[in-house]
Structure 1
Amino acid sequence: MKNTENLLIAALPKGIAKRFLALCEPFELVLSAELSVRGAELSHAYFPRSGFISLVIDIDSHPPLEVGMAGRESMLGSELVLGIAKTPWRAVVQGAGHCWRIESDALRQAMADMPPLQRMLERSLMVRLHQQALASACERFHPIGPRLARWLLMSQDRAEADHFHVTQEFISLMLGVRRVGVTQAASDFQKDGIIQYTRGELQVLDRARLEREACSCYEADKLLHVELMSMK
């Protein structure tokens, strides 16, 4: 059976995890739903158990750009660890699923009452900051094809399935590039038998080849997560 627990919660001591979950409520992640708005205060923090969330920046008249992704390895609302309730981005559900949700004030109190929880969430925030710095460099220096491969691998990891729903328009927004560039790169992958894409439904046919097509940022991102989350 597929594990559907949030990995941050699962890593807590059992007693702490039980106390924390008693403060949370189950919440459904509905595809395309916005869980936070730029500049608005967060009312809740979210701990995905399945599905995933994109953090999207809107700048002036430019297309939106994805600057982060949260699946069950992470959380949405780590700003609250710093006592900050406002975010600079929108949080959009990219993959439908389920999560635990907790009110912002309740999370702050829980961190004060449970030091292991606070340490875990501080570490998760550090991971996100490092990963966002890596993503910025990737967006600046790497071509569309390798970036698309990286994004598809990250999405597949969080969807925990070979098949998921995504449109080329959405991918172009996430990568901050014109749709024609995404269309060409996706078409090349499809011709090579790496993916199959039809009317918004994408299936990864050859993950090993997709990993070879991805830029080095995919493996670097995973290594960052392992190293930083295992720090004492």
Structure 2
Amino acid sequence: MPFSHYVNTTNRLLAALPAKERERLLAQCEPVELRFADIINKPGEFVLHVYFPINSSISLVTPLEGSTSLEVGLIGNEGMLGIPLTLGVDESPFLALVQSAGLALRMNGAAFLHELKRSAALQRELNRYLYVLISQIAQTAACSRFHVVEARLARWLLMTQDRAHSDSFHVTHVFLAYMLGVRRVGVTKAASSLQRQKLISYHRGDVTILDRNGLEAAACPCYRAEKETYERFLGYNRAIHHQNDLAHS
């Protein structure tokens, strides 16, 4: 299968573009393998590249004093890392690190900005995605303040599964504590509870979702709210463009 076709079927933001503009953008991308916990950008660093995840995901983390931190956003195959460039800003406001290893497309930031000026469709899709990302960050802030660790962990696991496209993935207690902004003992207690309910299995960092419906019931309402926002602003839009491409092919 041609590489461009593989990408078109797995990155939703790229798939939403008209065929000619999508192919022009893909011609300037290179496939890269992202490794678990690798740092892509640090706060204040220049954004040199943009990334379109395929079967990987990237966490947006806000470091606080000392070793404390909190994940405020998660980017998978629905979007792109490097959104500040669309606002005329070339600095990263977050620590961006790989949450789920896998494939992504990388594009030079200057080339991306050139394509952004040429393509009204790309501007439109990125504006919609920016709205969704802002909504996710706001939802995460409220979730971190008002919901218990077990419900937040269930939500996090569901979001990760959605982007990993697999029932199984690797993540350590230390990494989970870092993402959720809680002590490791809190993560251990929450994960043990989910295991006792037979919703997940967890062994030496390997997580398997055993009961998707049960995990959704255990998660806080934030997961469903975020999923509905994504589908309303990104899923429907993608379907319309796919139909248009078929009509003109």
The CA distance in 2 between the partners of 1:30 and 1:167, in whole Å, is 14
The CA distance in 1 between the partners of 2:205 and 2:109, in whole Å, is 35
The CA distance in 1 between the partners of 2:135 and 2:24, in whole Å, is 30
Task: Give aligned-pair identity as a percent.
Answer: 46
The CA distance in 1 between the partners of 2:173 and 2:65, in whole Å, is 22
| RMSD, matched Cα | 1.7
SS of the residue 1:26 aligns to: strand
SS of the residue 1:84 aligns to: coil
1:75 and 2:80 correspond: yes
Name which of 96, 107, 110 aligns with 1:102: 107
- Map 1:40-189 → 2, pairs under 5 A: 40-189=45-194
- Alpha-carbon deviation of 1:72? 0.4
Deviations 1:169-228 (A, max 9, x none): 111111111111111111111111111111111111111100100000000001111223
The CA distance in 2 between the partners of 1:192 and 1:49, in whole Å, is 32
The CA distance in 2 between the partners of 1:12 and 1:203, in whole Å, is 34
Q: Which runs of 5+ in 1 are unaligned?
A: none
Match of residue 42 from structure 2? 37
The CA distance in 1 between the partners of 2:174 and 2:226, in whole Å, is 25
> Contact 1:79–1:125 (CA<8 Å) still a contact in 2?
no
The CA distance in 2 between the partners of 1:5 and 1:145, in whole Å, is 31
Match of residue 247 from structure 2? none
- Alpha-carbon deviation of 1:5? 2.2
The TM-score normalised by the length of structure 1 is 0.96
Q: Which residue identity lines up with residue 7 of structure 1 in the other structure?
A: R
The TM-score normalised by the length of structure 2 is 0.89
Corresponding pairs, count = 232
1:23 and 2:28 correspond: yes
Q: Which runs of 5+ in 2 are unaligned?
A: 241-249
Q: Which residue identity lines up with residue 204 of structure 1 in the other structure?
A: I
Higher helix share: 2
- Alpha-carbon deviation of 1:35? 0.9
Match of residue 5 from structure 1? 10
The CA distance in 2 between the partners of 1:34 and 1:62, in whole Å, is 16
Deviations 1:17-59 (A, max 9, x none): 1111111111111221111111011000000011111111111
The CA distance in 2 between the partners of 1:170 and 1:33, in whole Å, is 12
